[in-house]
Structure 1
Amino acid sequence: MQSAGKVSVHDKFFDIGGHSLNLIHVNQQLAKQLNQSIPMVEMFRRPTIRELASYVSGDAEQVAADTQSVNQKIRKANEPIAIIGMAGKFPGAKNVEAFWRNLKNGEESISFFSDEELLEAGIDRQTFERSDYVRAKGVIDGPECTKSERICKKYQQRASKC
């Protein structure tokens, strides 16, 4: 992650240079430190330190009220937006409609893999036992995987055996 300098509890993770892989790493570190699993969808729903701390502590209503005034500076609450057109492939969703349904319902679309599954996919034990190795991937169904997603096919083979 790029150097963010001084970070406020109101700064959004992605606005200060974070990306999805960083967020997975943060999720894993929080799980270790707090001895509590936080669903990835909640990490995306609560992109600020304050919102996430509130979720973890169970004090979401108070932070929601405090955060609303901060967010109003950015845009008005419930301000409508227009999506002109959208297409894409997403983990756990065959089309855009399924993707939005998953988001709305808080469906986890990232696949997490055991030692056996990683070995079966051809990943050596030395690699996946590293502390910085992420045992998760957004698997996209279908033969449309690009060359850069060659491992996708191995994950798909694993998924078809389930």
Structure 2
Amino acid sequence: VLKNGPVGIHDNFFDRGGHSLKATALVSRIAKEFDVQVPLKDLFAHPTVEGLATVIREGTDSPYEA
């Protein structure tokens, strides 16, 4: 989604050039590639690969889950 080189697990999505439109594209791609629904708010709260992996692994109690 970012298209600016490799991204490390600790790299912040927004520091690497991500913004709200790319965030929407990323959560859509995660859903398509991994069949996992990640609420957009979770990406804003956990903007690293490591953070998102933790959210996905532990699940979320978000009322916005699909």
The verdict on a shared fold, with TM-score over 0.5 as the criterion, is yes
Whole-Å Cα distance in 2 between the matches of residues 38 and 31 of structure 1? 7
Runs of 4+ more than 3 Å apart: none
Q: Which amino acid aligns with 1:46?
A: H
1:12 corresponds to: 12
1:53 corresponds to: 53
| Larger Rg, first or second structure (1 or 2) | 1
Higher relative contact order (CA 8 A, sep 6+): 2
In structure 1, stretches of 5+ residues that fail to align are 60-105, 109-162
Identity over the aligned pairs, expressed in percent?
Answer: 33
Q: Tell me by how many angstroms 1:7 deviates.
A: 2.0
The number of residues matched between the two structures is 61
Q: Tell me by how many angstroms 1:2 deviates.
A: 5.7
Q: Is the 8 A contact 1:13 1:47 kept in 2?
A: yes
Q: Is the 8 A contact 1:14 1:47 kept in 2?
A: yes
Q: Which amino acid aligns with 2:26?
A: V
Q: TM-score, normalised by structure 1?
A: 0.34
RMSD over equivalenced CA pairs, Å: 2.3
